[in-house]
Every structure is written in C-alpha cells, then in structure tokens.
C-alpha cells in the first residue's frame, strides 16, 4: 500500500513522508471500524517502507476528529478498534517512525487521543483539544487519561478530564502540547516543513533517539536510561550512516543517508 484509501481514510506518499487523512467530514471524522482499519493499514506501510521516514496524521476540515462514532457504539455491534492498534488502529500501536498530528479544528475525545498517540503536534489557531467523555458518562479509555498528564501540567490535565471542557490551541501551545501553532488552513504545510527538518537527519539516529526519549518520558529510571542510551549508541555507531555523517562533515557537504545498519 504505497497510495490508496478505503474512502474514509486517504493515504498518500510524498517523498519520504506518508500522509494519512481522515475522510469522514460529514460525520466530523468520527472513528468507526473502517477508519481504524484504514489508519492501521497506512501505519503498516509507513513502518514497513524504509523510504518513509515520517508519518503525518490529519483530517479533512473543519474537524480533525470528534472521536469514536457513538452511533456505531450505540448499536452494540462489535468494536471500532483493531487488535494491534486499539482505538483508531493507533493508540496502542508499537511504532518506530515519527508521527506528526496536523490538526485543523477540534480534536475531541478519541480524536484528542489520536493526537496524543502521535510524537509531535502542529495545530492551527482554530484547533482545540479535549476529552469530554465525562459529559456522556464515559471515560477517556483510549489513552487520554494516561498521556494527557504527560503532555500537560497535571492540574491542567485534571481540569480537562473532570470538566470535559476543551483547551484552545493557543493554551495547548503555551503548555507545550503543540509544537507549532499556525494560521488556519496551514497545519499540513507546517507539518510537512517539520517533517523536512526530521528527514534531513540520519534515520537510524532519529529512530534510536525517539525510542530512548519515549522510555525516559514514560518514567524509566536513570540506570535503564543509560542502558538504553548505550544500546542505541552502539546501533548508530555501527551503521553506515555514522561513517557518512563524519565524512560529510569533513568534506563540508550535506550527508546522503542510507538508513542501513
């Protein structure tokens, strides 16, 4: 799957970037089983294709995603996630490739949890983030209650969880949830610009750095952190790209990365 869709999830590759687009604007890009399967298939391609170095998850405006399709849940017929990835085929998925959320409009409930499952966030000033599940006698069970207090100060995350009220893009950016705030309509372009900054670097070094940082953010103790760092450094130093990086520096040119061990 290098390009394609299942109608509700569009997927295309631009250079070294795999772009996943939620395409149910008539349903506020709500997540059903078909959406989850479409996201999972796109992630499969991103993870399985060494030429793809960054993924982007976005939605057809004006809403990023309103979360789970409550009409489907209300029928009681089956689940809406996948076995490997959970909700949206993503929130519990093990990945190695950096994933950027490009957010236009509200990202609420499961939509916010999809954003929290990404590594970086670009948002327009029209975006907002929230876990309003308590307003419907539900809890944010797709990672929101686990990840939000790691992305925001605990009291702010608690406020969001207990009131269910959304957080504006500006406030989210002030607290560090959003990496880049932009004008409405520019989120995808800014996410592509951020992708280019990542792609300029050695793929194996990016991958290993991401994994070590995530372990530290998840609470790994310092000794474990040193062990992971030593192992990651050994992988990087043993790669062809390490030699290329040194050679390019000496020769005063841009490196040509191969992404091979």
Q: Are residues 137 and 231 in the same domain?
A: no
For residue 144, what are its two tokens?
Answer: 């929101």
Q: Are residues 190 and 79 in the same domain?
A: yes
Q: Are residues 132 and 243 in the same domain?
A: no
Per-residue pLDDT at 74 exceeds 80:
no
Q: Are residues 8 and 103 in the same domain?
A: yes
Residue pLDDT, tens place only, 46-64? 999 999 999 999 999 999 9
Q: Are residues 84 and 183 in the same domain?
A: yes
Per-residue pLDDT at 69 exceeds 70:
yes
Tell me the pLDDT band of 1, cut-offs 50, 70 and 90.
very low
Q: Are residues 29 and 138 in the same domain?
A: yes
Residue 260 resides in a domain:
no
Q: What is the pTM of this model?
A: 0.95
Residue 245 resides in a domain:
yes
Residue 154 resides in a domain:
yes
Residue 187 resides in a domain:
yes
Q: Are residues 174 and 212 in the same domain?
A: no
Residue 258 resides in a domain:
no
Is 133 an annotated catalytic residue? yes
CA distances from 145 to 134, 142, 207 (A): 12, 8, 26
Q: Are residues 78 and 122 in the same domain?
A: yes
Q: How many domains, in total, are found in the chain?
A: 2
Q: Are residues 27 and 120 in the same domain?
A: yes
Here the CATH number for the domain that contains residue 53 is: 3.90.226.10
Q: Are residues 156 and 245 in the same domain?
A: no
**Domain that includes residue 86, residue range:** 4-199
Give the active site residue among 40, 113, 133, 208.
133
Q: Are residues 165 and 235 in the same domain?
A: no
Per-residue pLDDT at 193 exceeds 70:
yes
């Amino acid at each position: 799957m290098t390009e394609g869709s299942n109608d509700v999830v569009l997927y295309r590759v631009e250079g070294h970037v795999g772009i996943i687009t939620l395409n149910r604007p008539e349903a506020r890009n709500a997540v059903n089983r078909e959406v989850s399967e479409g996201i999972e298939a796109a992630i499969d391609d991103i993870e399985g294709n060494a030429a793809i170095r960054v993924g982007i998850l976005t939605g057809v405006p004006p809403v990023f995603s309103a979360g789970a399709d409550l009409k489907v849940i209300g029928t009681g017929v089956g689940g809406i996630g996948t076995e490997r990835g959970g909700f949206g085929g993503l929130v519990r998925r093990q990945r190695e490739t950096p994933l950027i959320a490009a957010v236009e409009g509200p990202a609420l409930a499961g939509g916010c949890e999809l954003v929290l499952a990404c590594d970086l966030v670009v948002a327009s000033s029209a975006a907002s983030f929230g876990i309003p599940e308590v307003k419907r006698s539900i809890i944010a069970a797709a990672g929101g209650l686990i990840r939000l207090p790691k992305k925001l100060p605990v009291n702010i995350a608690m406020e969001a969880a207990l009131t269910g009220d959304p957080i504006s893009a500006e406030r989210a950016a002030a607290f560090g949830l959003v990496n880049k705030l932009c004008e409405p309509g520019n989120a995808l372009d800014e996410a592509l610009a951020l992708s280019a900054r990542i792609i300029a670097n050695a793929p194996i070094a990016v991958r290993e750095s991401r994994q070590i940082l995530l372990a530290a953010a998840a609470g790994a103790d310092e000794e474990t952190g040193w062990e992971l760092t030593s192992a990651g450094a050994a992988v990087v130093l043993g790669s062809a790209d390490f030699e290329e990086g040194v050679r390019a520096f000496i020769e005063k040119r841009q490196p040509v990365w191969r992404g091979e061990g």
